[in-house]
Amino acid sequence: MDSDVSDNPFLKTLGITRTAWREGYAEFQVPVQPALLNRQQMLQGGVIATLLDAACGYCGLYSSDPERPVHGLTLSLTLNFLDKGLGDRVIAKGFLERKGKTVFFARGEAWLDDRVLIATAQGTFRYTRPKT
């Protein structure tokens, strides 16, 4: 399991882990815990949005060479919430749809406990240069 999100402190703070990352695909998960719930005791929509943003973004940023990381930023992310976030764990899956020289397009799915599709996403991302 590839769980290292040390390059993204925000994901680490939320307890999000990366469970898969390869060319054209990324997967993140988070356990549903009290600190991530809204006042209706459901998973906060922003947590789902963050998971989908990470999965869609990282799926286009894979590099097989750890010495040459690829970086990017979100230009646009559209979400559709389909069901409630009531369960134990949410997994977000990102799929690369098309890759250009400066931008890429991805789609994502958020699954609750591997059985209920709770949200989908489509995003546009731009490649950036890493800070040196």
Give tens-digit pLDDT for 22-59: 999 999 999 999 999 999 998 999 999 999 999 999 99
Residue 59 to residues 81, 105, 131, Cα–Cα distance (Å): 21, 10, 20
Residue 3 forms part of a structural domain:
no
Residue 79 forms part of a structural domain:
yes
Q: Give the chain's domain count.
A: 1
Consecutive H or E run containing 72? strand 71-81
CATH for 108: 3.10.129.10
User: What does the pLDDT read at residue 117?
Assistant: 97
Here the tokens at position 104 are 């890429």
Write the DSSP symbol of residue 87.
S
Closest to 59 (Cα-Cα) out of 13, 25, 16, 15? 25
- Cα–Cα distance between 123 and 97 in angstroms, integer? 10
Residue 100 forms part of a structural domain:
yes
Residue 4 forms part of a structural domain:
no
- Assess contact for 92 and 54: CB atoms under 8 A: yes
Residue 2 forms part of a structural domain:
no
Residue 61 forms part of a structural domain:
yes
- What does pTM read for this prediction? 0.92
Consecutive H or E run containing 52? helix 45-59
Domain housing 34: 9-128
Residue 55: helix, strand or coil by DSSP?
A: helix
Residue 1 forms part of a structural domain:
no
Mean pLDDT of the chain: 92
